[in-house]
A and B are shown apart, each in its own frame.
Chain A
């Protein structure tokens, strides 16, 4: 039995470079990703942390950069901080950024999930990616993602 996979596709009227930057720039992630940031040097093999913008000791998710091909493909591992060394608790997120008819097609594939993580991320990705699109198209992220939330 293979582990569940979650896929979300969204089209954004912007450039691949802006989507790439938005995934990593703390000033942008804090607005569309619940006042959180993704910290790393983004080199293949480097660690990354998903931490609070206001308190860097508050880390919700951590992992390793598996693949980094700006501005087209970013692959990271994804685990709760206490589970980073447990392969069975580590999932994987791929961001694929393609040109599609004058817009950008962003595909987020979250794979190798267990049931608990599948539940957690299935609620999160649509909200985060909806707000990312709003931010890149209108200049301001959705208020619902500009504050921190639990989960």
Chain B
């Protein structure tokens, strides 16, 4: 049986170390993630928090951490009561270096049937990851207005 999941692959001209920092350091995420900070000690079993202006919108727990190759954490949206009712899903970042670029695979899985979180994240990841790629390659992330409308 095919389980619903979202997979996005992007190739970025950078190093695994820089990409890792951009994905896990809140000072960097807020530059391309439309003002959102990702906060985590990256220790297995400790919490993660994604938020903006001091308000946490998505929380989780670190499941796996192997810098700069793989990070897995759970994903539980808080910003919408309907979405907050769903059991947490799971985000994996896999980074593989190929010469002068890195292949990044984001796999978001573990959704219940008829998930409302899945269509939401399927819209969000291409925006965030397109902005991340621009940020690392040109220094110019996508405009902030993207997430404000």
Contact = CB atoms under 8 A, between A and B. Distances in A.
B138 A137 contact: yes
Interface string A22-60: 000000000000000000000000000000000000000
Given A133-B130, A142-B101, A101 B11 contact: no
A143 interface: yes
A11 B131 contact: yes
A103 interface: yes
Nearest to B12: A130
A43 to B, nearest CB: 31
A133 B133 contact: yes
Interface in A55-85: none
Interface in A1-22: 8-13
A35 B64 CA distance: 39
Interface stretch (B53-61, B83-91, B139-147): B139-147
A126 B11 contact: yes
Contact of B134 (A101, A137, A142): A137
B133 A102 contact: no
B145 to A, nearest CB: 5
Interface of B: 8-13, 98-101, 126-127, 130-131, 133-134, 137-138, 140, 142-143, 145-146, 149
Interface of A: 8-13, 100-103, 126-127, 130-131, 133-134, 137-138, 142-144
